[in-house]
Structure 1
Amino acid sequence: MEKLKRKIVCLIVLVMLLGMSGFSSSAVEAASPYQPLQHSINKILTDSRMAGTTSSITIRNAETGEAIYEKNADQLVTPASTLKVLTAAAALETLGENHRFSTELYTDGTVAKGTLYGNLYLRGKGDPTVLKKDFDNFASILYKRGVKRLAGHIIGDDTWYDAERLSPGISREDESYYYAAQISALNLSPNTDYDAGSVIVDAKPSVLWRPADITLTPATGIVRVINRSKTVPRGYANTLKIEREYGTHKIIISGHVPIGSIGKKEWIAVSNPTKYAIDVFKKSLAERGIRFVPTSKIAEGVTPENARLLLSKQSMPLKNLVVPFMKLSNNTHAEILAKEMGKAVYGEGSWDAGLQVMTDYASSIGLDTGHWSFEDASGMSHANKVSSSQMSQLLYAVRSEPWHQTFLTGLPVAGADKRFVGGTLRYRLTGGAGKGNVLAKTGNLEKVSSLSGYAKTQDGEWLVFTVLTQDYRYSTLPVIDRVAQTIAASSKKP
């Protein structure tokens, strides 16, 4: 009997010990410092706007790379413009922070008694930051050097890159607008947003029942404006529409513009960025007093090997260009960078070569390139795919790069009202913990929204996060912003 009692006691003790062991294991698991954040994110994702949505979410510790939250982490989703984080990283690594683009002016002629007998060759090497004032400066210098008349032609040379102008993801509906501008090695931008290959079309009310007043910036003759608009009385709806007719150089302006309204302004992609640049350059020459013989014309061509360099204009270094590129999510910059990387590494300024460089870079930092698929560098294509696990791994990996601080300066800052600080996040997360503490690249296409970057918690700890969503019925932006806000508001302290 005593033996039986001792056995029972031993069994009870053993069960208690096993129970305590199990309890101890659970206690360790429950003590994860990120558990409150994990629970909060799970609750946010029950939002009805996520129903039926394809999504992928990963949050990592920025110091260790440890994944502290994952939801469909390996699901491939269209990244939209968050793909630009790979483009920027590959460009900084491949081209270097101090890389500059250039635009050069050559001639194959000589000057006699104020007349240049020969052609002027405007040769582009990808610079997206060329402005009308740069051409004015070229013209002023030529005039001061004694060129008062041109007895030749103005030739635009864009052969630094290949002749393919549009990436595969550009739809017919998008081609009219600046965000889908054609990619050329010879560029002109209308202002310091540097939307290369586009012209600003400004339509304002004129006299009642008359067409709107139209201004082009810069003025150019390579587009044909067809003004079908009408100025209407105050109180009428502003129905102005400005677009370039598909496949042509015609800019159609239609609809009503009320008296007293601001009208409408659009950045319209031109049908030939190379001719656009040389057309405006010719205007700059004329405005600075340089005359032309009647046979002078503008044309596209190749700079002869024996031509001599007259003038050159360089862009800002890449470490500065990443600001308008990333803050404003400039698609043209992304595609130019891709072609420039291809030119630098493989001697070919093409998308195929440039995208290969991006793939090479991703592989070099340990990313699984089998989980990346992209056919452009801007994120415009719906065919682009990546997982949040891979995107967040990229953001973790670049923290060890010597140019990481430059990379950070390019990311939009949540709630920062200055355009070149807040960028595409300046009107988001404008209050609460996220303001100023979320640095991230946005991404938006039809039924696609994403956000990928860094968030500083209440403990001062940096976390890497990526939220990718597509195929939603209702916009997921509010959900994405709640996730970012919750990360910034989190703390490991009890």
Structure 2
Amino acid sequence: MNRPLKYWVLTCFLVTCFVSGKAQEKVPLSHFFSRWANQEILEHASIGLYVQDAKTGEGVLQSSPQVSLTPASTLKLLTTAAALELLGPDYRFETRLAYQGYIQNDTLFGDLNILGGGDPALGSIYFKEHYLKNHFQDTWVKALKDLNVRHITGKLVADASVYDDQFIPNTWIWEDLGNYYGAGACGLSVYDNLYEIHLSSPATAGKTTKFLSTKPQIPGLEFDNRVLSADDPRDQAYVFGSPLNNQRTIRGSIPKGKADFVVKASIPNPPFLLAWQLKNRLAEADIQLTGEIQVIWEKQKNAEDKEMQKLKVIATTISPPLSDIVSVTNHESVNLFAEHLLKHLAYLKTGLGSTKEGIEVVTDFWKEKGIDTRGLYLADGSGLSHFNAMTAEQMVQVLHYMKTKSASGSYLFQSLPTVPNGTLWYFRPELFPRNTLLAKSGSMTRVRCFAGQLTTITGRELLFAVFVNNFSCTQRQAIQAIEELLAELAKR
């Protein structure tokens, strides 16, 4: 080929590439989404998508029609945002130690009371420095010593009556209840309402494991251990049992050849455990308690004020600020914290914390803020229930309100994980560098959802929610598909 002809061919090739590239860049997002939603791995899935410009409020991309889908743990955004708005980021919970009766010489003639105030984080592993460095129970014991109390004639009362006695929302499934992520909220929770079960496994697969211990010790708890050793390196053990019941069955498998393998489970009766521990600490400090432990789940309303007037508070344990609790709730996706916030909103409004009343408070709050709540069905505050349903547009409306109208909005967005942290550890950092993606994830069987804020390469901030339900592919494939969608949005 002679030189002029070769230059002509090269020029035509470059022009073709340029035109082709420009044409590819101009493919509308709606066309890209249509191809994305119709890929084979999502063939049988229900998909909800809504994307909005954070600054202008302009709709950028959406699935149509908007349908109500299971949001999984992204639902925590509705609960935590409402709590920030209604309580304020500086709100703190209080747990008090008090006595009823009188002190004469070194004897308390009456009862010692632990008054629960709905603190979701009391003794939490997420707030070790706050609660456990100088252990709150040591502070309680010191308060009694400062009063020269060496004998207590009455009971040790654990009062959890600020919330109702139904730990678990009606629609949580049996498989979840005994496990750590299925720990329910009560008026006197402690240690994230979870404990560790320690097991050892034989070197070969398919053999019975050995129960070793629990941490902390749970008085009266009995186990039927049916866990087997397995080649699978994952924790596939599940604990079955209901609140206030000390019978537990453990099924499934743990990796073979483990000398001490930990399975996390939910405490059956948190107020009783806390009182039992305090009773032991009193004994270690040479303070004798004559009476038994009593847990109060419900008070007579007409007698409550009179009873409270008789109590003398001697120590108060204060929680971290709500903003810190919200940060952990969303970043680590802690179901217990979200359920506490839901019940606490009901407690402050009605005097008794319940899931049902909490749902009404949250729903009414967002309705008052101008969000169309038709198609919004709440069954809990954390998203663990399969009965929750909402549209992607409703989720984005909540985010847009918090972004543009809320004085506490920054706390909500700061609570969202960034790639590759928290629940976004599986996204590729090169696709979302420098914290350009802030998102709450949600997952359960055949459900994968994300909601948050995405900053594009042009600096445009987009608020988004993508819900994918009932896909037939693996969770990993669903994650990769959503990652592809968000990466395309980031290019715009």
Q: TM-score by structure 1 length? A: 0.82
Larger Rg: 1
- Equivalent in the alignment of 1:63: 55
Give, in whole Å, the separation in 2 of the partners of 1:441 and 1:456.
15
Shift of 1:56: 0.8
Does 42-51 or 331-340 show the bigger shift? 42-51
Residue 130 (1) aligns with residue 138 (2): no
Going from structure 1 to structure 2, the CA distance change for 1:204 and 1:399 (only over 3 Å counts) comes to: same
Shift of 1:104: 0.9
Residue 367 (1) aligns with residue 393 (2): no
Instruction: Select the residue among 199, 204, 207 that pairs with 1:203.
Output: 199
- Equivalent in the alignment of 1:27: none
Gaps of 5+ in 1: 1-29, 190-194, 416-421
Instruction: Select the residue among 400, 404, 407 that pairs with 1:402.
Output: 407
Going from structure 1 to structure 2, the CA distance change for 1:486 and 1:159 (only over 3 Å counts) comes to: same
Going from structure 1 to structure 2, the CA distance change for 1:59 and 1:226 (only over 3 Å counts) comes to: same
Give, in whole Å, the separation in 2 of the partners of 1:307 and 1:267.
37
Does 69-78 or 140-149 show the bigger shift? 140-149
Secondary structure of the 2:181 match is: helix
Contact map agreement 1:224 1:249 (CA 8 A) in 2: yes
Shift of 1:481: 1.9
Shift of 1:55: 0.9
- Equivalent in the alignment of 1:323: 327
Give, in whole Å, the separation in 1 of the partners of 2:119 and 2:240.
24
Shift of 1:290: 2.6
Does 49-58 or 66-75 show the bigger shift? 66-75
- Equivalent in the alignment of 2:87: 95
Secondary structure of the 2:263 match is: strand
Give, in whole Å, the separation in 1 of the partners of 2:388 and 2:286.
50
Instruction: Select the residue among 315, 319, 341 that pairs with 1:337.
Output: 341
Does 51-60 or 471-480 show the bigger shift? 471-480
- Equivalent in the alignment of 2:362: 358
Contact map agreement 2:163 2:352 (CA 8 A) in 1: yes
Contact map agreement 2:197 2:215 (CA 8 A) in 1: yes
Shift of 1:80: 0.9
- Equivalent in the alignment of 2:157: 155
Contact map agreement 1:47 1:479 (CA 8 A) in 2: no
- Equivalent in the alignment of 1:120: 112
Q: How many residues align?
A: 445
CA deviation digits over 1:309-359, x for unaligned, max 9? 111101111111111111111111111111111122333322222111111
Secondary structure of the 1:201 match is: strand
- Equivalent in the alignment of 2:431: 432
Does 275-284 or 351-360 show the bigger shift? 275-284
Shift of 1:237: 8.3
Going from structure 1 to structure 2, the CA distance change for 1:480 and 1:74 (only over 3 Å counts) comes to: same
Shift of 1:78: 0.9
Shift of 1:217: 2.5
Contact map agreement 1:240 1:253 (CA 8 A) in 2: no
Give, in whole Å, the separation in 1 of the partners of 2:320 and 2:181.
21
Give, in whole Å, the separation in 1 of the partners of 2:142 and 2:44.
61
Secondary structure of the 1:372 match is: coil
Contact map agreement 1:107 1:309 (CA 8 A) in 2: yes
Give, in whole Å, the separation in 2 of the partners of 1:256 and 1:384.
30
Does 475-484 or 252-261 show the bigger shift? 252-261
Contact map agreement 1:222 1:276 (CA 8 A) in 2: no
Contact map agreement 1:218 1:280 (CA 8 A) in 2: no
Shift of 1:397: 1.7
The one-letter amino acid of 1:389's match is E
Give, in whole Å, the separation in 2 of the partners of 1:77 and 1:397.
21
Q: TM-score by structure 2 length? A: 0.82
- Equivalent in the alignment of 1:275: 272
The one-letter amino acid of 1:224's match is E
Percent of aligned pairs with the same amino acid: 26
CA deviation digits over 1:344-384, x for unaligned, max 9? 23333222221111112211221101131112111122221
CA deviation digits over 1:142-183, x for unaligned, max 9? 234422333221111111112222112211111111221122
Q: Which structure 2 residues correspond to residues 18-37 of structure 1 after superposition, within 5 A? A: 36-37=28-29
Instruction: Select the residue among 247, 252, 272 that pairs with 1:250.
Output: 247
- Equivalent in the alignment of 1:24: none
Going from structure 1 to structure 2, the CA distance change for 1:138 and 1:34 (only over 3 Å counts) comes to: farther
Contact map agreement 1:73 1:387 (CA 8 A) in 2: no
The one-letter amino acid of 1:351's match is T
- Equivalent in the alignment of 2:9: none
- Equivalent in the alignment of 2:72: 80
Going from structure 1 to structure 2, the CA distance change for 1:59 and 1:256 (only over 3 Å counts) comes to: closer
Give, in whole Å, the separation in 1 of the partners of 2:164 and 2:327.
26
The one-letter amino acid of 2:287's match is I
